[in-house]
Amino acid sequence: MSRVRYAVIGHPVAHSLSPRIHAAFGQQTGIALEYTAIDAGCGRFDAVLAEFAAEGGRGANVTLPHKARAAAICQHLSERARRAGAVNTLVRTNTGWEGDNTDGAGLVRDLTERHGQDLRGRRALLIGAGGAAHGVAPALLDAGVEDLFIVNRTGSHVDALADALGEPGRVHPRYLSDVGTLGVFDLVINATSAARVGTPLDLPGGLFAPRGDAVDLSYGEAAIGFLSWARASGADRTIDGLGMLVEQAAESFLRWHGVHPDTDPVYAMLREQQDVLVTAD
């Protein structure tokens, strides 16, 4: 009999905390599961996923750089995956893979419930236009962000994201080089992999409104540079992506098992551990 398996698929992926998170969720809920990390280099995602399915894989998380490709291979997309144009959660069905995106829900839940943020009416800056930005942008709008400015080095990428969001009155695509001319923000979110690939963002100061906050979707070493810049630039609060990682994992767990785990003890466990200085999913 084929084993029922779950996994996170990405490149690189050995750093991922997802196996630890899902093991903790399984122990907490009494659900026996096997969850591993699978490395799939560029051009290898389809083959790796097919092999995973043949070996009994029933669900997978997808991380860099495969979120857009995961959306393309799905037979069905959830509404939030369709809006995002990216998939971080795959569910095996009788007709193939169903794709979902739990990133945005994870971010909003972490910000509003763990950190007490009220996103309604806020002027937000989203830096980046890749899979992570696609995943969180719709949820930020749904949570009540009044104006969402999206900046990226490549104009075509930010324009594509803005077009997909379809709210020209609230969504404002701009070049990263113009960020210093956009005024101040209540919330600045780094959704790039710049620290991971060794490319500094080189952001100007003066971007934060009074009591303006900074969020990095990465955590550990990958978040240090941006959050240090934010503190030096006057951010009121700086928040890394560890809580978002746990919350999006809980949303995936719910899709696969029908149970939403208690995230607080898992978040506390990871936060206390010294080896969380790795890049985020």
Q: Annotated catalytic sites, by residue?
A: 67
Residues 5 and 37 sit within 8 Å (Cβ to Cβ): no
Cα distances from 56 to residues 59, 60, 142, 177, 263, in angstroms, run 9, 11, 36, 47, 27
| Residue pointed to by tokens 């972490």 | 110
Cα 246 off chain centre by: 10
Rounded CA-CA distance 182/174 in Å is: 9
Cβ neighbourhood burial of 237 (10 Å; 0-12, 13-18, 19+): middle
211: region left, alpha or beta (phi > 0 left; psi from -120 to 50 alpha):
left
